[in-house]
Copies of this chain bind each other. A is one copy, B any other.
Amino acid sequence: MDDIDRNILRELQNDGRLTNQELAARVGLSASPCMRRVRQLELDGVIQGYRAVVAPEAVGRGFEVLVSIEVRRDRETVEAFEAALQDIPDVIEAHRLFGSPGCLLRIAVADLAAYERLWIERLTTLAGVTEVNSQIIMKRIKEPQGLPVDG
């Protein structure tokens, strides 16, 4: 991975639909070696995929909540809990933490009423959960916008 690869990653994080020709021009290469590098980055798993970024409000997901969850800390409970999260589409991000809380979710729903429903129907009913603490997001200060690529 050299400077050119890093430039490619920067450009494609910025615009994932750049044509290969345009990308090649920006990183100072001609089309063929540029495409070879991109393919290699994909094969190596450095580029994991490409995604359209959709406005949450436009698809009824403008209301976001951060939820701290405490789960009983034995292996089976934790694994079942984390598997269950995969099946709740409203959970758009989940992290297991050291310390407390043991887990933090980011949830995107339409509005407060939708969140109340989700909370009572699907969060409080998860097995092994001992505590659920919801914090409504007032404002997105900084959006996920691709990773910085140094060098």
- Residue positions of A touching B, CB distance < 8 A: 1, 6, 9, 12-17, 44-56, 58-61, 64, 66, 82, 85-86, 89-99, 103-105, 108, 135-150
Contact partner of A16 among B17, B99, B141, CB < 8 A?
B17
Chain B residues with CB under 8 A of A59: 6, 9, 46, 147-150
A-B residue pairs in contact (CB < 8 Å), sample of 29: A13-B51, A15-B51, A16-B50, A45-B58, A46-B59, A47-B54, A48-B55, A49-B53, A50-B51, A51-B146, A54-B147, A59-B148, A59-B149, A59-B150, A85-B142, A89-B148, A92-B147, A93-B142, A93-B143, A93-B144, A94-B142, A96-B137, A96-B138, A96-B139, A97-B135, A97-B137, A98-B135, A103-B141, A144-B144
Q: Is the CB of B16 within 8 A of A144?
A: no
Please measure, in the bound complex, the distance between the C-alpha atom of A98 and the C-alpha atom of B60, giving whole angstroms.
21
Task: Give the Cβ gap from A29 to chain B, nearest Cβ, in Å.
Answer: 17
Residue of B nearest to A139 (CB): B96
Q: How far is the CA of A141 from the CA of B84 in the complex (A)?
A: 11
Total copies of this chain within the assembly: 2
**Bound-complex Cα distance A81 to B129 (A):** 35
